[in-house]
A and B are shown apart, each in its own frame.
Chain A
């Protein structure tokens, strides 16, 4: 999993790389990994996820196991969430903060066994997260193990049926933590048997559809990918790349580190203030004191913007007020494949952030009218 593909580029590749190449994928460098950006067409892959299902290789993401007698106290200190509130099999979206309250990364933490936690972090922040976690481990009797397991996402309305039909992926009461695929709630995980090994199946995702993320031993990744693809074909499952992943998560209003989230902003600026349980979490944690003090009221806040037409404002484009004065900047934007109009997230001055506010986006010299709205842009039909 860590072999570079050639001396010059020295990019890492996942256990599934050969399969992506065989499918004719175009690759891009993402966080030091050579990852598939598309297999056929961004739009086709995006639409497939919304109507059937898409299969994503996200093995470049960092996975850490946390164990040891002090694991809970360690995580309570190192991260924003309260592990005492996380029951067996449950997952939590949270953040690792700097002492300033700035965001080092956004993460998902799962209590995947009685004696363990699993942390999934962004590929681009692997080193920063590892370093911060190791620094914060000092004084706690806890282990941090960087895993080289693969991570595969199956996302879309047919995802559950596809996994239920996947040959070799078998229910096992000893691993299931009390769940079945059908009863597995959102943000919850269960173990399943695959061949001789196990797979951790989490009902989480980054697309706004129902779906699952599967953590599996690197040696079993290829067989699992193949089995899911075979089962998924009659349902319309297609492999989907990072381009589709980005338009899907944007429509679903989900932040992307390096765009909406960074060391330079505190969670409340990105609308994530309530993700940090300041009121109910007793333990001290890194960043707590910064967040507990008053945030400057003129700090930019993240808003959702919609526009008409087909010219989308993109990351870095200026957002202007009614008088043409600059009020902010787009962090992510695209012509929404599902909705058919431009959507964007932007940091703007609080005075311009009220839903309904009419602003403009500077699209390469053209002033395109845009309206502030609330996230998400797209919501799937509730089952």
Chain B
């Protein structure tokens, strides 16, 4: 079970797990819940350069389409084929099997993201 407190977060409801200089990115259970049943994910290709806070893909549910923002600058090194074939993983395991992309990043940039407490406070304000 992922330790949610060890993750970093963004205001666009993404979570980030850093290992060395590779950040694994997904969307939070809060975002997945708001979207409803995810039926399609559109991810950037491996090798694509992404820019922090810019739209890099889409995540589509039965009822709506949400934009996927890159949480950090970097290069996509891996995408989750399992979630492309089975988008419902985002709903069933947002922090685990439902991960979306891995980005090669500057580790220092991850520090600037929200910690668990700050993210939870943000979603409480939203509710």
Interface residues of A, Cβ cutoff 8 Å to B: 37-38, 41-43, 243, 247, 310-312, 314, 334-335, 337, 364
Contacts and interface: CB of A to CB of B under 8 A. Distances in A.
B40 A42 contact: no
Contacts of B42: 311
A112 to B, nearest CB: 35
Contacts of A38: 36
A122 to B, nearest CB: 19
B63 A42 contact: yes
B78 interface: no
Interface string B65-102: 10000000000000000000000100100000000000
A330 B51 CA distance: 33
Contact of A243 (B58, B63, B65, B88): B63
A364 B58 CA distance: 10
B90 to A, nearest CB: 12
B23 interface: no
B31 to A, nearest CB: 14
Contacts of B91: 41
Given A41-B91, A311-B60, A364 B65 contact: yes
Contacts of A312: 60
A168 B7 CA distance: 53
Contact of B37 (A42, A310, A314, A364): A42
A50 B61 CA distance: 20
Which 5 residue pairs of A and B lie closest in terms of their CB atoms, listed nearest first? Answer: A43-B37, A42-B62, A310-B40, A42-B37, A335-B39
B42 to A, nearest CB: 8
Nearest to A311: B40
Contacts of B37: 41-43
Contacts of A311: 40, 42, 60
Contact of B39 (A37, A310, A364): A310
A311 B42 CA distance: 10
Given A42-B62, A247-B62, 16 more contacts: A37-B63, A41-B36, A42-B61, A42-B63, A43-B37, A43-B62, A243-B36, A243-B63, A310-B39, A311-B60, A334-B62, A335-B39, A335-B40, A335-B62, A337-B62, A364-B58
Contacts of B36: 38, 41-42, 243
Interface in B10-53: 36-37, 39-40, 42
B13 to A, nearest CB: 16
A311 B63 CA distance: 12
B81 to A, nearest CB: 15
A355 B91 CA distance: 37
B9 to A, nearest CB: 22
A124 to B, nearest CB: 18
B57 to A, nearest CB: 12
Contacts of B88: 43
A243 B40 contact: no
Of listed B60, B62, B91, residue having the most chain A CB within 10 A: B62
29 contacts: A37-B63, A38-B36, A41-B36, A41-B37, A41-B91, A42-B36, A42-B37, A42-B61, A42-B62, A42-B63, A43-B37, A43-B62, A43-B88, A243-B36, A243-B62, A243-B63, A247-B62, A310-B39, A310-B40, A311-B40, A311-B42, A311-B60, A312-B60, A314-B65, A335-B39, A335-B40, A337-B62, A364-B58, A364-B65
Contacts of A37: 63
Contacts of A334: 62
Nearest to B42: A311
A313 to B, nearest CB: 11
Contacts of B60: 311-312
